[in-house]
Amino acid sequence: MIIESLFSLQGRVALITGAAGGIGRVLSEGMADAGAAVALADVRADETMALAASIRREGRQAEAFQVDVVRRESIRSLVDGVLGRFERIDILVNCAGINKREPLLDVTEDTFDRILAVNLRGVFQLSQAVAEPMIRQGGGKIIHIGSLTGEMALAGVSAYGVSKAGVSQLAMSMAIEWARHNIQVNCIVPGFMRTELTTALWADEAKAAWMRGRIAAERPGEPAELLGTAILLASPASSYITGQTWCVDGGVTAGGRHW
């Protein structure tokens, strides 16, 4: 019973951005199953409403919200809407993100600015907005979704890698400043996952072989394999864990074989 209560999200409200995406959907459904009331936020309104309806059919609490994390007024409207519906926000999962794969010399100023605006500035601004009610209520949990490209450089994703490295740094900065308010902030780095966005990569035999060769587990990860870490970091079990980057990557960042 003690273990169950440590990892339970019963009575808590979780706000998840990028909820309509592959990883966001899994985290939304999983946190709802763990007992949280979930506020699902995404720029794709129809898909987000469909997900909320699906979760409600399972007897869980879920509401859909549309947000553009680049626009501060949209963020403010989202936070106000969630507080108006649920009265509190206990957990924030920053999962919204975009990418464009192209050589560094082809990256335009507009592309660079757009990727950093969504992936980094959006995380910064939404965390700021949510920290205010968390401080008033006595604490909370913030989880950023990072990337392997923030931990190691890969060709063709320069702007994306910069944005995700910044997300890991933000987790540390926020953890230090907000610890006195009982807010824990951490970052989860997914490894080479099998999602809607990576279907083409895994379908390319040469690229798939390269990725498998870098993974100690020798297989792609599934979004559901991120859920255990996310529940840990969202639950009372992580009350003394903050400012950390958690690589859920099948062993990629641990190193590699030399034979």
What's at 177, amino acid-wise? E
Enumerate the H helices of 121-157 as residue ranges. Answer: 122-137
Taking the CA atoms of 54, 126, 177 and 246 in sequence, report the sign of the dihedral they define.
positive
The C-alpha angle 134, 135, 136, rounded to 5 degrees, equals 90
CB atoms within 10 A of CB 169: 16
The answer to whether 35 touches 9, Cβ cutoff 8 Å, is yes
> How far, in Å, are 3, 90, 112, 162 from residue 21 at the CA level?
30, 22, 22, 21
Separation between Cα atoms, residue 175 and residue 143, nearest integer Å: 11
Q: Name the active-site residue from 23, 157, 159, 160.
A: 160
> How far, in Å, are 137, 242, 244 from residue 91 at the CA level?
12, 14, 16
Give the residues across from 193 on adjacent strands: 221
Active site residue 160: yes
Which token pair is 221? 């990860």
Separation between Cα atoms, residue 232 and residue 220, nearest integer Å: 22
Q: Residues with catalytic annotation?
A: 160
